[in-house]
Amino acid sequence: MHVGYARTSTFEQQAGLDAQLRQLEEQGCERVYSEQVSSVGKRQKLEECLRFVRDGDVLFVCKPDRLARSTVDLLRIVEDLGQRGIGLVILSMGGQAIDTRSPTGKLMLTMLAAVAEFERGLMLERQREGIARAKAEGKYKGCCAAIRVRTRGDLDEKRLHGAVGRA
């Protein structure tokens, strides 16, 4: 059986979800699990999907980041599916489809996932360097202003000096 999984991070990405669903339908997926949830949140439909697929099934996803949070997570899922006799087809990974049912597909997936993880690490490193440089130049103040929590003592002090009216 061909089974599909589609995910977007937010409800505002309905067009992206619709596009994924169309791609999965074009692949002949008989059953599709979809959800709109951040990758850091609990992905209930993914869990249902992974429980549903059986030996001989093929799981289709449009992109690897729709399925997994990291290279390690992706490779763990691929290993689990493979041990259960389930294939994985990623429709667009580096511009090409990857099918883990073949040794070449598994190799390509592992290599491309490692490159993607490496690129992400480089991007985060450049970001940290840029922030450090901006701080050194006095141009970076942080993400957002901190909110000072007022204590009863603060309010009593201000009332004493007439800065805060009584409600």
**For residue range 46-67, what is the model confidence (pLDDT) as tens digits?**
999 999 999 999 999 999 888 8
Domains and CATH numbers, the chain: 2-121 (3.40.50.1390)
Phi then psi for residue 87, to 5 deg, are -85, 160
SS (H, E, C) 32-90: EEEEECCCCCCCHHHHHHHHHCCCCCEEEECCHHHHCCCHHHHHHHHHHHHHCCCEEEE
Q: What is the pLDDT of residue 164?
A: 53
Higher pLDDT, 122 or 12: 122
Using an 8 Å Cβ cutoff, are 39 and 20 in contact? no
Instruction: Specify whether 34 is catalytic.
Output: no
Distances, alpha carbon 112 to alpha carbons 18, 30, 61, 89, 109, in Å = 26, 28, 16, 14, 5
* Confidence (pLDDT) at 73: 87
pLDDT of 158 > 70? The answer is no
DSSP 3-state assignment of 24? helix
Count of CB atoms within 10 A of residue 30's CB?
Answer: 10
* Cβ-proximal residues to 88 (8 Å cutoff; 6+ apart), any chain: 58, 59, 61, 77, 78, 81, 82, 99, 100, 101, 109
Q: Please provide the average confidence, as pLDDT, over all residues in the chain.
A: 84
Q: What is the pLDDT of residue 102?
A: 93
Q: Kindly name the residue from 9, 39, 70, 92 that is annotated as catalytic.
A: 9
Average pLDDT over residues 80-108: 91
pTM over 0.75: no
Q: Is the pLDDT of residue 106 over 60?
A: yes
111: pLDDT confidence band, cut at 50, 70 and 90? confident
Note the pLDDT tens digit of each residue in 13-38.
788 899 999 999 999 999 999 998 77
Task: Tell me the C-alpha to C-alpha distance, in Å, between residue 55 and each of 13, 80, 81, 83, 85.
Answer: 33, 11, 9, 9, 4
Predicted pLDDT at 36: 86
> Nearest 5°: phi and psi at 65?
-70, -10
Percent of the chain with pLDDT over 90: 45
